[in-house]
Structure 1
């Protein structure tokens, strides 16, 4: 597999504004769940479809000027795409910020830790 077959650096956009970030992590949870039943085996042997929900964790750098007011983000669109040619693109819509934290360290830049949820997800 050559290097041009892999997604490299990504660019993060929130409502059309490019955001400088250190990392982005996404999770989709709750597609199925185990259903506990009383049986001779002593373990769950059934499953059911459930309502899914997704989350995004972003570590964004804190700019000196023009910082995003993350606490007001509700119903946003977050786009993650490959930097080189835009051939890889994920779109998360209905994004809301749940928590905002800040991290300062001696050896690094100041970042904001954002925990968000999303309502819909599409790979283009």
Structure 2
């Protein structure tokens, strides 16, 4: 049995600038919806197609030297790719910020929690 390699840590870039990220979560809502109809079986029989939505949730550390203006980001390109050279790059295009928060705790570094929306996803 051959040893498998899996994707581990990633590198995140915002408009070509590398960002120190601790967490990245990507949620894709397909836009599909259940269509309920009145029939003798008493169950739904299909779905309708809708518009897909891509939401990014980032947690980044706050550098002492200065931080990006996360709240002002509009029309940005966010790219994530594996730390090793194997694997594909995924870019999220036309990103804009929805929310920005700060987290401080005794045991960890100060962090920002950012929620963004992307209009397109491209695997390169």
- Whether the 8 Å contact between 1:7 and 1:88 is mirrored in structure 2 is no
Counterpart in the other structure of 1:37: 37
Q: Give the strand-richer structure, 1 or 2.
A: 1
CA distance in 2, matches of 1:115, 1:35: 30
- Point out 4+ residue stretches in structure 1 off by more than 3 angstroms: none
Give per-residue Cα distances to partners, 1:24-64, cap 9 Å, x unaligned: 00011034211111122333222111111110000011111
CA distance in 2, matches of 1:17, 1:70: 13
Aligned length: 123
TM-score, normalization by structure 2: 0.92
CA distance in 2, matches of 1:53, 1:39: 31
TM-score, normalization by structure 1: 0.92
Aligned 1:1-124 pairs, distance under 5 A: 2-3=3-4, 5-85=5-85, 87-124=87-124
Q: Structure 1 stretches of 5 or more lacking a match? A: none
Q: Structure 2 stretches of 5 or more lacking a match? A: none
